[in-house]
Structure 1
Amino acid sequence: MRFATYSYEGNERAGVLDADDLLHPVDAGSLAEVLGDLAAAGAAALSAPPGPHVSAVRLLAPLRPPSVRDFVTFEEHVEGMRAGAGVPGQWYAAPTFYFTSPHAVLGPRDDVPVPPGCERFDFELEVAAVIGREGRDLTPEQARDHIAGYTICNDWSARDLQTAEMAVGLGPCKGKDGATTLGPWLVTPDELESRRDGEGLLRLALTAEVNGEVVGSDLLSNMSWTFEEMTAYASRGTPVRPGDVLASGTCGNGGCLAELWGRGLDRPALRPGDVVTLTVEGIGRLSTTVVAGGEAHPLPRARRRPRTRP
């Protein structure tokens, strides 16, 4: 099933799409309320008369996640980003992630503003799993039952800001929290089950376009960990909860502009007016227009203090 959150005639609703792309409203205030049993919620909704066609509504992000973990699971992407420096040995030990801001989540038809002070704006083609049930210290086998569905994720990045701030050693902050686009809908795991390969990875074609030109393509099955393994790792020593988003990290072979820059390819950074289109087989398509953002209000440099003591 495909579930969407949408605005129609001034009201925000969650619904399930039928084969004709008609939306059947779900009997809940939000999609988050039914993540634990989407099959039952969807079946009940489909048994009732449909609402509007998806083309008549404004699609919103499928949900408002309480947390967003962004992993880095594509080895080829890491290679490209490091400009020939090789993949760190620690990368192979575990599926590393960082937390990004859930408050910056945008819907599939929302414009994305260039972050203040950014001159090297970039997209990132990813797929995200959404948690449907709370769990802690899960095994990968147990984690499968905790994944409610999958959606496309565009983790927008201010590369110049990111490079500067990561020199401090704490990871990205303002370089990454400007926007994360999710959508167009949430696809339940049963829709994609036939696309699993022998190692449990989802073999889905991924394509990134800028202004109609293909700049990257890959297979989701080139991830080095499954979403179940990522969920198990995320739950180690702490709970994962309904609505949590776990993103795959950027795919290889041009899943973002910075990877192409790292391989020595000269492509311009994103500018206002550019349209980025991400397509994931079996899930859907996101097409987003970049717009001008606000200005960066100046702040002083760090104060050098005398380190006096009481």
Structure 2
Amino acid sequence: MKLASLKSGGRDGTLIVVSRDLARAVQVPEIAATLQAALDDWAVLSPRLATVAEAIEAPKVSTINGMPVFELDMAQLAAPLPRAFEFVDGSAYLPHVERVRRARGAQVPESFYTDPLMYQATSAGFLGPRDPVQVPSEDMGIDLEAEVIVVTDDVPMGVTPEAAARHIVLVGLVNDVSLRNLIPGELAKGFGFLQSKPRSALSPVFVTPDELGDAWRGCKLHRPMLTHVNGEWFGAPEAGVDMQFDFGQLVAHAARTRPLTAGTLVGSGTVANQDTSLGASCFAEKRTVEALETGAPITPFMRDGDVVRIEMLDADGATIFGAIQQRIQV
């Protein structure tokens, strides 16, 4: 099933069940007012939501449980989880890490291949899929990061990767916005990201893993991550390829010393492949490839008015999660 949130309903939005083709939707107040409320009691409420998801696929259905079925307008959508208790973001695609380090003459520590990189990201507010990315200045090095993201139910501390996989209940996309020119100074302090990581945007809908069919296997999403900038192709690396750690491993890593609350988001990191002909999922990656090939980066970071579009298509060419489409606003 596919779930989303309308901007109406306060800070946490209003939960809706969305048709598979993203054309229609229905509110489900008798089940849960918000997605977070559904996640808090997922084992009980998800079967009821699935029944609604099945009903909305019927031809010419006009009401479900007394609620009208309406045409979905992406502009009216908030992020599926407008605010979350926790967002931890990994860096599971080591080709990106390897290239960035090679460009500055550094080696990748051996531990990176056995112990995931992860940081505590911003979760207090997510941008909707059509909301602008507001940044104080172009000089900050505005970058997109196209990633896969999963949402968990309650995860116990010390869970194994195999058990952690069973706690993944939803899958989506995220544009993890980065301000690249602020990152070196922050990392030099030895205390992680803060100002260099503004609010991120989530895909219009989140979907249950079963909705993905055989594209979800090995706890990875095996489809290209398609990105366009100003209407031009930017990249389509394969999300299921060159991912050093699967999502079960990433969730287990996050839960090693603490339980995770239902509604925790875990990101894959920027999707990147060894095959650079497939393009990039962030400007930092593209600029690094250029530096390795020509001696210096060529492509500038994003500017005021630029438009980024991030989505993932199924084998038939239909959008799975809807597109994140945002304009940079300085």
**1:49-64 superposed matches below 5 A:** 49-55=67-73, 58-63=76-81, 64=83
Conserved 8 A contact 2:4-2:205? yes
Residues 218 and 241 of structure 1: CA distance in aligned 2, closer, same or farther (over 3 Å): same
> Which residue number corresponds to residue 214 of structure 2?
194
Measured against aligned partners, the alpha-carbon deviations of 1:196-224 in whole angstroms (never above 9, x if no partner) come to: 45x44321111111101112221111211
Cα 1:13/1:266, change in 2 over 3 Å: same
Shift of 1:56: 7.1
Residue 259 of structure 1 is matched in structure 2 by 285
Say which SS state the counterpart of residue 89 (structure 2) adopts: strand
Change (3 A) 1:159 1:70: same
For residue 279 of structure 1, report the CA deviation from its aligned partner.
1.3
Deviation per CA, 1:210-246, whole angstroms, max 9, x where unpaired?
1011122211112111111111111112011111110
Residue 286 of structure 1, CA deviation = 0.8
CA distance in 2, matches of 1:262, 1:277: 21
- Correspondence for 2:14: 13
Q: CA deviation at 1:193?
A: 3.7
Q: Structure 2: how far apart are the matches of 1:214 and 1:96? A: 29
Structure 2 counterpart of 1:146, one-letter code: H
Q: CA RMSD in A?
A: 2.2
Tell me the CA shift for residue 284 of structure 1.
2.9
Is 1:74–1:251's contact at 8 Å kept on the other side of the alignment? yes
SS in 2 for 1:221: coil
Hey, what's the Cα distance between the residues in 2 that align with 1:136 and 1:78?
28
CA contact (8 A) 1:115 1:158 kept: no
Structure 2 match to 1:159? 180
Superposition deviation, residue 256 in structure 1: 0.5
Unaligned runs of 5+ in 1: 293-310
1:283 is matched with which residue? 321
Amino acid at match of 2:17: V
- Shift of the 56–79 alpha-carbon distance from structure 1 to 2, 3 Å rule, reads closer
> Deviations along 1:153-205, whole A, 9 cap, x unmatched?
111011011122211222222111x12111211111111241145x4432111
1:117–1:44 distance in 2 versus 1, CA, 3 Å: closer
Select which of 105, 120, 129 maps to 2:150: 129
1:106 matched residue in structure 2: 127
What is residue 270 of structure 1 aligned with on the other side? 302
Q: What is aligned with 1:185?
A: 205
Report if the CA contact (8 A) 1:6-1:57 is conserved. Answer: no
Whether 1:145 aligns to 2:166 is yes
Q: Give a deviation string over 1:1-34, Cα, whole Å, max 9, x none.
A: 1100013599942111124521121232211111
Shift of 1:76: 1.4
Letter in 1 for 2:208: T
| Displacement over 3 Å in runs of 4+ | 8-12, 44-47, 115-119
Q: Look up the SS of the partner of 1:60 in the other structure.
A: coil
- Please tell me whether the aligned partners of residues 155 and 164 of structure 2 are also in contact (alpha carbons under 8 angstroms): no
**Counterpart of 1:144 in structure 2: which amino acid?**
A
Please name the residue that 2:316 is paired with.
none
CA contact (8 A) 2:144 2:178 kept: yes
Residue 91 of structure 1: CA displacement?
Answer: 1.0
2:247 aligned residue (227, 240, 243) = 227
Mapped to 2, the partners of 1:110 and 1:58 lie a distance apart of 10
Contact 2:125–2:199 (8 Å) recurs in 1 = yes
Q: What corresponds to 1:296 in structure 2?
A: none
Which segment drifts farther, 111-120 or 55-64?
Answer: 111-120
SS in 1 for 2:205: strand
Q: Secondary structure at the match of 2:225?
A: strand
Task: Please say if residues 152 and 284 of structure 1, whose CA atoms lie closer than 8 Å, have aligned partners that are also in contact.
Answer: no
CA distance in 2, matches of 1:106, 1:200: 26
Q: Which amino acid aligns with 2:5?
A: T
Q: How many residues were matched structurally?
A: 290
Counterpart of 1:62, as a letter, is P
- Whichever residue aligns with residue 156 of structure 2, its letter is G
Structure 2 stretches lacking a partner, 5+ long: 56-63, 273-278, 292-296, 314-319
Q: What's the CA shift for 1:44?
A: 4.2
Equivalent residue number for residue 28 of structure 2: 26
**Equivalence for 1:71:** 90
What letter matches 1:128 in structure 2?
A: I
Structure-2-length-normalised TM-score = 0.81
Q: 8 Å contact 2:3–2:15 — kept in the other structure?
A: yes
Code of the aligned partner of 2:119: Y
5 Å-filtered alignment, 1:162-173, equals 162-173=183-194
- The whole-number CA distance in structure 2 between the counterparts of 1:4 and 1:249 is 22
Residue of structure 2 equivalent to 1:212: 231
